[in-house]
Amino acid sequence: MKRLSAILLAAGLVCGGVAFAVDDPSEMLPNPAQEKRAEAIGAHLRCLVCQNESIEDSSAPLARDLRKVVREQVAAGKSDQQIMDWMTQRYGEFIRLAPTFSLSTALLWLMPLVALIAGLLIAWRTAMRRVATPSPLTDNERARLDALSGRE
Amino acid sequence: MNATRRGIITALPIVGAGVLGLGFWRILSGMRTGTFDPRAINNPQVGKPVPNFAIPGLPGLGDGFTDAELRAQTRPVLVNFFASWCIPCVQEMPGLRAISRDLPIWGVAYEDKPENASAFVKRDGTPYARVASDRHGRVAIDWGVTGVPESFLVMPGGRIVWHGSAALDPALFESEIRPHLARL
C-alpha cells in the first residue's frame, strides 16, 4: 500500500496538477462536470495545514473538510466567485494560491514583466555597443604594426 | 571605461548584496523575537462578530452553546478550540486552568469523539465554564480555525478582538490578552 501510494505520488509529481488526494471516491460528486469544476476550484485553494499544497493535493483533515464544502457549494449551484469569497471571508487572502492583484501584490505579479523588460534593455544596449566599429589605426600604430610584422 | 562607470559597476553587486542581507537579517531577527512568523495566518474574523452556530454539549458536561448565548455575555469570554488527540492542547491545559480564574473559557472540541473529548476535559479538572462539541469541524471553518489549539477573545456583544494559534500559558495571557481586558 505504501509502495503504491509512493508510485502514485511520484506519478502526481511528474504529471503535475493531477489531483490524487481525494482519499475516498465517495467524496467525489456524481456529476463529472461538477466534480471537474470542484477540482479546479480546490486546486486554487491553499491547504492551511501544509501551506504549500492545494486542498485537492492534501490529505490533511482540514483539506478534506474544505473539499467537502467546495463540493456542497458546487452542487448547490454557487459560482466560482461566490465559493472563493466564502473561503476568503473565513481564512483571508492567504487561502488563495494565486493572490488577487492589489497594491501589496503588484510587485509579485509585475516582477516577471519587470525582469523581461530589464533583460531586453540590457540585451539591446549590449547589441548596440557591438555595432560600433573600431576607430582606424593612427600613423604611429600602422608604423609599429608594420615593424612588428616584419613588413617594410 | 571611465572611473564613474567602473565605480557604479563595482558598487552595484555590493549594494545589491547589502540590501539582500538587510532583508534577510530583518526576517530572521523578526522570527527570533516573534514579531514575524512566516507561517502565521492572519485570521480575518478579528474585529468581526462571532459567526452563527449552535453546537451540542459533551456527555456529562452540560448542553453546549450557541452564538446567541456568546453574544449575550456581559463579560469577555475566551473561546478555545481543542481536541483530545492534540498534544499542544494537553500542554495548554494547566495554563488554561490558571487563566480561567481571570476569564471564563468556553471550550469547543474539534473533530473529536464526544466521549474522548469529555474524558480529556474531565481528567485533570476542566478549565471550561462551558464546553461543546464540533464533531465534524464545520463550526471551526466558520471561525477560520486551521488547527488546534486556537483561541479567540470575544467581547460582550460578541465581537472577536483577538486570535491566537499557539498553546496558551499565563505569560501569553498577560502579554496578549490582558491589554484587551484592560481596555474595557
Binning pLDDT at 50, 70 and 90, where does residue A14 land? Answer: very low
In A6-24, which positions are buried (b, 16+ CB within 10 angstroms) versus exposed (e)?
eeeeeebeeeeeebebbee
- Please give the Cα distance from A140 to B87 (Å, whole number): 87
CATH number of A2-95: 1.10.8.640
Interface touch B41/A92, C-beta < 8 Å: yes
Q: Which of B130, B134, B135 is nearest to B154 (CA)?
A: B130
Homologous superfamily assigned to B54-182: Glutaredoxin (3.40.30.10)
Q: Does the N-terminal peptide bond of residue B149 adopt cis geometry, omega within 30 degrees of 0?
A: yes
Strand B105-110 relative to strand B77-82, pairing: parallel
Task: Please provide residue A101's backbone torsions phi and psi, each rounded to the nearest 5 degrees.
Answer: -75, 120
How do the domains of chain B map onto residue ranges? 1-39, 54-182
Read off the pLDDT of residues B117-171 as tens digits, 9 standing for 90 and up.
999 999 989 999 999 999 999 999 999 999 999 999 999 999 999 999 889 999 9
Taking the Cβ of residue A99 and every Cβ of chain B, the question of whether any pair is shorter than 8 Å is answered with no
Q: Do A90 and B146 touch (CB under 8 A)?
A: no
Name the residue with cell 474595557: B184
Closest Cβ opposite residue A48 in set B111, B138, B146: B146
> Which one of A70, A91, A95, A104 makes the best mutation probe of the B interface by having the most chain B beta carbons within 10 Å?
A91
Residue in B85, B65, B81 with CA at minimum distance from that of residue B168: B81
Nearest residue on chain A to B141, alpha-carbon basis: A90
The 3-class SS string of A129-140 reads HHHCCCCCCCHH
Above 70 in pLDDT, residue A9?
no
- Alpha-carbon Rg for chain B, nearest whole angstrom, is 22
pTM of the model: 0.76
Query: Domain segments of chain A: what residues?
Result: 2-95, 106-149
Chain B hits for A48, CB-CB cut-off 8 Å, are: 41, 146-147
